Amino acid sequence: MAAALNRARLRGQLLQLVATASSLAALAAMLDPDRIATAMGLFLVGVNGYSQFYAIYVGVRLATAGLALLAARQGDQPVLGDLTALFLLAQPAGRLVAAFAIGLPTGVLFVVCAVELLAGLSLLALRPRGKILSP
């Protein structure tokens, strides 16, 4: 019983950390899109370039933050944390696909990828035991 409570507490704290980090990443992208885009290896051109950047680096990050925050507050619904983990893991999965065509990311993006992978896998590892298909 104590182990399950400890896992739930750790998972909740990790979800709160994901929510905070995702919110701060979205805020940084809103405040200085050109600097963030350059750090990610992107060059923003025209309205569509900025629109796409904001959709991904602001919209998806805020959605991830909201989902993580909701999951942290709804500890009895592990599927919300699982969805947060899938949002996080989808990004390194996409980068893995790209790695076959053009190589692994480098620099700060490689670190971001490692953090996303670690956070997503940790959320899944901290999932309540015995509730694989629970709502």
DSSP notation for 33-58? HHHHHHHTT----HHHHHHHHHIIII
* 131 has a pLDDT exceeding 60: no
Tally the domains of the chain. 1
DSSP state of 16: H
Contact 8, 72 (CB under 8 A): no
CA atoms 35, 108, 92, 99: torsion sign: positive
Tell me which residue range forms the domain holding 70. Answer: 7-125
Contact 74, 66 (CB under 8 A): no
**pLDDT (tens digit, 9 = 90+) per residue, 72-111?**
987 667 899 999 999 999 999 999 999 999 999 988 889 9
| 60 inside domain | yes
Q: What is the mean pLDDT of the chain?
A: 91
C-alpha–C-alpha distance, residues 53 and 37, integer Å: 8
Q: Can you give the pTM of this predicted structure?
A: 0.87
Q: What pLDDT score was predicted for residue 43?
A: 92
- The tens digit of pLDDT for each residue in 16-55 reads 999 999 999 999 999 999 999 999 889 999 999 999 999 9
Q: What is the pLDDT of residue 6?
A: 86
pLDDT at 128: 84
Q: Is residue 134 part of a domain?
A: no
